Amino acid sequence: MTRPPTDPDPLSDKQSEPDHRNLPIDKVGVRGLRFPIQVRDKDRDTLQNTVATVGLFVDLPREFKGTHMSRFVEVLNAHGSVIHVENIPDILRAMQSRLHARNAHLEMEFPFFLVKKAPVTGREGVMDYTIRFDATMRDSALDFLLTVKVNVTTLCPCSKAIARYGAHNQRGEVTVVVRSAAIVWIEDLIALIEASGSSEMYSLLKREDEKAVTERAYENPVFVEDLVRNVALKLNELTDVTWYRVEAENQESIHNHNAYACIEKSEG
């Protein structure tokens, strides 16, 4: 006769075992998780489908050996695919509860798309922008940072002033990070940044449009220093913005290096 199989030993929970090195960990979790999301547009009538690269983290007390990585994914899946500022605190609180943590962190980066019309012909093209959310819940206090990256055209004022023919221009990448007392819409920050360079950029230009864009840039030269100051002045007019950092990097067309500038507003 064959003996009946015995019940397997219960699965061990190594993460919950004690650790004796007496060192807490500030952030532990998962990073690089690709997740489909929907982001609300400013008009609140539409949801834009995109794919985010997500990081989820909590603090780990000194007495625990590890955290339970699968629980981060469970929390994210439980909240569905519609991600916006309003439900990020719910995700963070769920992480605190599910992982028995005091602090919870979320990072999320994704492409955001807008349809833009060419300045003369009105031909439509799709522009992509890089957006990032960084949110932290410490006990019950939420800190949320919105990052927007936008490319613009810049034309060198010095080159225009000294050259007999034309002036060199370049693509400038502007990165704006804001902390605010109320919602600041992605579309508003994009428009603010695009209005601060020599010209905004487009995905589709016919000859008439290209003429208009290059002439606009020539009539509106800006150094990289001008670019960050222009953006900062516009941000100063947004009363809900309590802190910001503006960075600009010009991919120089005649130098073997890039030009860079940064302005940061102090809290309060």
Query: Which tens digits make up the pLDDT trace of 221-254?
Result: 999 999 999 999 999 999 999 999 999 999 999 9
pLDDT for residue 44: 66
- Taking 50 as the pLDDT cut, the residues of the chain under it are none
Delimit the domains of the chain by residue range: 23-265
Tell me what pLDDT residue 16 has: 63
Q: What is the largest CA-CA distance in the chain?
A: 102
User: What stretches of 156-184 adopt beta strand conformation (E)?
Assistant: 169-180
What confidence tens digit (pLDDT) does each residue in 159-194 have?
Answer: 999 999 989 999 999 999 999 999 899 999 999 999
CATH superfamily of this structure's domain 23-265: Urate Oxidase; (3.10.270.10)
Do residues 94 and 75 make contact, with C-beta atoms less than 8 angstroms apart?
yes
Give the pLDDT score at 6: 57
Closest listed residue to residue 243, CA positions, set 263, 262, 221, 265: 265
Q: What is the pLDDT of residue 206?
A: 97
Check: pTM over 0.75? Answer yes or no: yes
- What pLDDT score was predicted for residue 47? 84
Residue 12: how many other CB atoms lie within 10 Å:
8
